[in-house]
Amino acid sequence: MSTRDLARFGLLFLRNGRWGGQQVVPADWVRESTTPHSVIGPHSGYGCMWWTGEGEGAFPNVDEGPGSYYASGANGQEIIVMPTRNLVVVHLVDSDAGHSVDETSIGTLLWMILDAAGETDIGDPPFLAQATGTRLTAETLPQVLQAGALKVVSGSEVTVTFGPDKTLSLSVNGTLLAKGTWWLDGDNYCHDLGADFGESECFQVIQNGSRILLFDLDGHAALQLEAASR
């Protein structure tokens, strides 16, 4: 399917199943299929072939608005429907060439699109240059990271534990998902969770209240953490 074909499909659902004055898909089915029937995490769920979510429950770094939903394929192929903004966004990837785009990057792109359109209530700017808080350094990072288990702020219940021996554990709903290592490179935090999780990555870290904000070395928001007990 072309980008335009996918956009037409998204518009069909945005218009509650109507196209050109004709009811192509029953409106009741549109509502049923885009209503979450399984809860994945805070503000995040799954309907019938559509994922649902808003704010931190869908794509990181952006608030798409209430009632948003999206169809998600491999490598970052997405149809994103934002009813309160009257907007459909289609994101395609040349997967035949081995390309892949993660949801964090898509969230940043959505934030930039909505910001350029003059939309409000879209979340904080996902860029280090506009972040508020305190930059953590080699002196303060170990104490903050090892203070207790941290939860990834997203739609899923992912918890990260940083050991004093530089080990790193990643768990989902209490089940161990991966183990790796962490270290400091100057004032930057780095980790390696293996090939399945991107291997070695380094980040600049900001503490803003109870949240720990990770930005890649280019200054783009990558991850948010907070105390697991919150």
Rounded Cα gap, residues 49 and 10, in angstroms: 13
User: Given a cut of 70, is residue 116 above it in pLDDT?
Assistant: yes
Instruction: Using the structure block, give the residue that is written with the tokens 């949801």.
Output: 103
Residues 86 and 170 in one domain: no
pLDDT at 155: 59
Residues 146 and 112 in one domain: no
C-alpha distance from residue 77 to each of 11, 35, 70, 89, 99 (Å):
17, 21, 10, 11, 11
CATH number of the domain bearing residue 30: 3.40.710.10
pLDDT at 156: 66
Residues 47 and 106 in one domain: yes
Residue 121 belongs to a domain: no
pLDDT at 229: 66
Cβ count within 10 A of residue 116: 8
Cβ count within 10 A of residue 210: 9
Which residue among 116, 137, 169 closes a domain? 116
Inter-residue contact 110 to 79 (CB < 8 Å):
no
Residues 11 and 93 in one domain: yes
Q: Residue 40 belongs to what domain range?
A: 3-116
Among 3-12, 40-49, 137-146, 201-210, where is mean pLDDT lowest?
40-49
User: Given a cut of 90, is residue 142 above it in pLDDT?
Assistant: yes
More confident call, 133 vs 154: 133
Residue 194 belongs to a domain: yes
Residues 83 and 141 in one domain: no
How many folded domains does the chain comprise?
2
User: Given a cut of 70, is residue 85 above it in pLDDT?
Assistant: yes
* pTM for the model: 0.86
Residues 92 and 138 in one domain: no
Residue 213 belongs to a domain: yes
pLDDT tens figures, 147-197: 888 988 875 678 999 999 999 999 987 889 889 999 999 999 999 988 777
Residues 48 and 132 in one domain: no
Rounded Cα gap, residues 1 and 192, in angstroms: 37
Buried b (16+ CB within 10 A) or exposed e, 25-38: beeeebeebbebee
Inter-residue contact 45 to 54 (CB < 8 Å):
no
* 8-37: average pLDDT: 97
* 213-229: average pLDDT: 91
Which contiguous run of DSSP H or E holds residue 159?
strand 158-162
Mean pLDDT of the chain: 92
pLDDT at 114: 96
User: Given a cut of 60, is residue 230 above it in pLDDT?
Assistant: no
pLDDT at 58: 86
Residues 134 and 84 in one domain: no
* 115-126: average pLDDT: 94
* 32-56: average pLDDT: 89
Residues 8 and 43 in one domain: yes
Rounded Cα gap, residues 52 and 64, in angstroms: 11
* 16-21: average pLDDT: 96
pLDDT at 119: 95
Which residue among 88, 116, 144 closes a domain? 116
CATH number of the domain bearing residue 181: 2.40.128.270
Residues 203 and 102 in one domain: no
pLDDT at 108: 95
Residues 39 and 99 in one domain: yes
Residue 40 belongs to a domain: yes
Which residue among 67, 89, 116 closes a domain? 116
Count the alpha carbons within 13 Å of 31 in the hemisphere toward its beta carbon.
3
